[in-house]
Amino acid sequence: MEKIININKPAGWTSFDVVRRLKHHWPQERVGHAGTLDPFAEGVLLVCVGKATKQVPALMTQPKEYRATVHLGIETETLDITGRIVAERNVPPTAAEDIEAMLPHFVGCIQQVPPRYSALKQEGQRMYDLARRGAAVEPQERSVNIYELELSGVKSRDVVELRIVCSKGTFIRSLARDLAHALGTVGFVRRLIRTRIGVYRLEQAVGIDQPETWQAGDCKQ
């Protein structure tokens, strides 16, 4: 068997939850995903089955596109909607308008510090496990590429929507945090949808509770 299945991951599911669901359907096959989505996030998760698992490294290098709803004026410990509030700051009256002028500074090869709550490892342990236990977590700054970044909507002075096309390893939560800081405030990601990985788009994704559609996911690269 050799399948790449474009799953529309629901919010509240971990990427491993999705893999486990498909593994239950094909217990004799190897199953893996090509790029973690945070539990609160939704959208494209590529699950490779059987011989297609060999394509995971190549798939992970493909550009990724996201839609993010960013809430300004509040920062949470996880930088997303699931964490407790750790900071609040006034939002400048012109913040929404100033975003477009600020976005070019975040395009290209930029330096980014990952969130403390992430699946990255520190001394062999997941950072989110260390952070939940109250242990010291020190994410290291690294280079990522933002290929496209645009303001796609303004819901209010403190809630904006962004469209991002970026490289492997980019944290949209960190981007939202850094953009908010540049605007003189704080922020977190209220909603995150991955709309594309390479040629695989959200419009073509199938549901996690629709196993009858998984057979059509026989799409080799």
- What domains sit in the chain, N to C, each tagged with a CATH number? 2-62+198-217 (3.30.2350.10), 64-194 (3.30.2350.10)
Q: Which of 17, 38, 158, 178 is catalytic?
A: 38
Confidence of residue 60 (pLDDT cuts 50, 70, 90): very high
pLDDT at 97: 79
- Eight-class DSSP state of 178: H
Say whether pLDDT at 221 is over 50. no
- Eight-class DSSP state of 112: E
Buried b (16+ CB within 10 A) or exposed e, 1-11: eebbbbbbbbb
Confidence of residue 188 (pLDDT cuts 50, 70, 90): very high
The model's pLDDT over 64-119, given as tens digits with 9 standing for 90+, comes to 999 999 999 999 999 999 999 999 999 998 777 789 999 999 999 999 999 988 88
Average pLDDT score over the chain: 92
Buried b (16+ CB within 10 A) or exposed e, 148-179: ebebeeeeeebbbbbebbbeebbbbbbbbbbb
Question: For the residues 8-27, what does the mean pLDDT come to?
Answer: 94
* Predicted TM-score (pTM) above 0.85: yes
**38 in catalytic set:** yes
Question: For the residues 182-206, what does the mean pLDDT come to?
Answer: 96
pLDDT at 1: 87
- Flag the least confident range among 16-20, 179-183, 206-210: 206-210
Question: For the residues 7-23, what does the mean pLDDT come to?
Answer: 95
- For residue 122, the surrounding DSSP H or E stretch is strand 121-122
Percent of the chain with pLDDT over 90: 76
